[in-house]
Amino acid sequence: MKKLVFVFSLLFISFTLQAQDNLISSEVKEHIKARIETKTDVAIAMGFIDGDAVEYYSAGQTALENGTDVDEHSVFEIGSISKTFTTVLLSQKIIAGEMSLEDPISKYLPSTVKTPARNGKNITILDLATHTSALPRMPNNFTPKNPNNPFVDYTYEQLYDFLSNHELNRDIGVQYEYSNLGMGLLGHILELQSGKTFEQLLIDNIAKPLGMNDTAIALNESMKKRLAKGHDGLAEVENWDIITMAGAGGIRSTVSDMVKYIQANMGVTKSSFYNAMQLSHESAYKNKENNYEIGLAWHYENDKEVIWHNGRTGGYSSFAGFVPKTNKGVVILTNNTADIGALSFRSLGGPTPLVAPKKSIVTLLKKEIQTSGIDSAIALYMSEKSNAATEYNFNEQALNTLGYELLNGEALDDALAIFKLNVNMYPNASNPYDSLGEAYLAKGDSVLAKKNYEKSLELNPANTNAVSVLESMGVKNVVKEVVIPQDVLDTYVGKYELAPGFIITVTRKENQMFAQATGQSQFEIFASAQNKFYLKVVEANVEFNVDESGEVTSMTLYQGGQVLPGKKLDE
């Protein structure tokens, strides 16, 4: 599946705050250079803040072909960081007395819209702002005509239709589950309340007062000239035009502007709406049972020492975060979808050293396809994977990127071959099956498309794209509830060590199971089979393993093409 949603990406990484002597360390700079040299990223632009002091560092170009050097004034899509702008705008209205967090969303929506409710409770503004509305990540009537610019044709009428006909599958305000739909709806409610577009609200109330002249939804001529073109892997992709749900991920900006935004959030730069920014940082939802806490859109790390948000669209990744106690912050924007989480937290002082990036096998495979054909390229992949495993990046996403580049270039048979290879290499990952299903659909083979989408959904029942496609093919009720007896669930409870000092603790409350990695919040895991579970907050699967006597001895975490086994520790 080519990612169609701006995502909040959560990785099971451990983080502890440490002091850092320089604004941008030589380690971080060398790592950025290496990412560009290995084509892990096309370009990276970064700004590090230490109170009033700012250091910028950039590498790479606006495009792989005929690009220009990026700098702090280059324009990027910031994706889900847009959500923090939405909640700052909301906080301004709360402080002004124009809105309340307790307001039901029906107060602002047209009377013709029937808003979802459950057990006598209505969705409130607070529920949208904290991802606790029980609304799904995306609406099920999201069927873009152009997957490469998927939001451009989604209308307010479609949004209203979805809300009027949707039935919630859990109680409101009880559980955190990341929802682009919910935050996009919140942005639209701000439009309805004010009579202005989201972009007008953004510019008038945040960008213009802070001197952020290159921050907007629509690209003006000046911004177009400095646009870093988006890339998925090594393939240039279209920009995403997000209007109806702009509040969830529609903003374009620069590192220079985003530094101003973070400095204002920290109070280094004084603004008339600093109190509103502070309100957005305050804890707005806390689940004591699973130890999860969130502000108004803003996320916390290291026991709330770090306040942050990241984002990703079809061709960009982004991060913005700060440490209130030290007035240090970082902004990193890239025109590629490669993950920058480890780089971002390391820049803020995280203890985990950065791993040197490997060259992408995609570059080698593309040349082989052009000169000798797809069969030779696959043979080369297998040979290099055996003989040069430490030299190249062979991960699931690398093959997926190449497959879509071939698919978009109408080399359908070659794309099918690459997606089949990906499935064979990563049989426990959901995304390769989804992509293979899409390729079969493009070829007109609905039988094999259905088979692969169903397999993708079996591995990850949270794959809403597979649900939507299967429903469009007439397959209803594709997600089956798996009920496991509590005495069996109890055998999974315990601590599993995946690496020295990195432990995942599994607990149970009634029929709910939870997993918590060292130094991180606790998240619910959902059963897909007797001993297999999945997460909804990130694409990851957990499998509990038993010995010949039936005793649970270990668990395996499958995430991003990685297979991470962990021995069960004795209590």
* Predicted pLDDT of residue 478: 67
Which superfamily does CATH assign the domain made up of 362-472 to? Answer: Tetratricopeptide repeat domain (1.25.40.10)
**Residue 446 CB-half CA count within 13 A:** 7
d(CA 230, CA 314): 7
* Predicted pLDDT of residue 477: 66
d(CA 89, CA 176): 22
Amino acid identity for residue 478 in this structure? V
* Predicted pLDDT of residue 11: 44
**Mean of the pLDDT values across residues 133-142?**
91
Residue span(s) of the chain under CATH 2.40.128.50 come to 486-568
Decide if pLDDT at 7 tops 70. no
Q: Is 132 exposed, middle or buried (0-12, 13-18, 19+ CB in 10 A)?
A: buried
Decide if pLDDT at 15 tops 50. no
Assign 325 a pLDDT band (cuts: 50, 70, 90).
Answer: very high
Coil, strand, or helix at residue 409?
coil
Decide if pLDDT at 17 tops 70. no
Q: Which option is the CATH number for 486-568: 2.40.240.10, 3.30.930.10, 3.90.180.10, 2.40.128.50? A: 2.40.128.50
Decide if pLDDT at 272 tops 90. yes
d(CA 249, CA 237): 17
* Predicted pLDDT of residue 1: 56
Percent pLDDT > 90 in the chain is 67
Residue span(s) of the chain under CATH 3.40.710.10 come to 26-324+337-347
d(CA 502, CA 376): 41
Q: β-strands 392-393, 359-360: how paired? A: parallel
Residue span(s) of the chain under CATH 1.25.40.10 come to 362-472
> Partners of 286 in the beta sheet?
293
Q: pLDDT tens digits for 364-379?
A: 999 999 999 999 999 9
**Mean of the pLDDT values across residues 451-460?**
90
Assign 19 a pLDDT band (cuts: 50, 70, 90).
Answer: very low
Which carries the bigger pLDDT value, residue 550 or residue 373?
A: 373
Q: What is the mean pLDDT of the chain?
A: 90
Q: Which option is the CATH number for 26-324+337-347: 3.40.50.10540, 3.40.50.970, 3.40.710.10, 3.40.50.150? A: 3.40.710.10
Decide if pLDDT at 555 tops 90. yes
Coil, strand, or helix at residue 492?
helix
* Predicted pLDDT of residue 29: 96
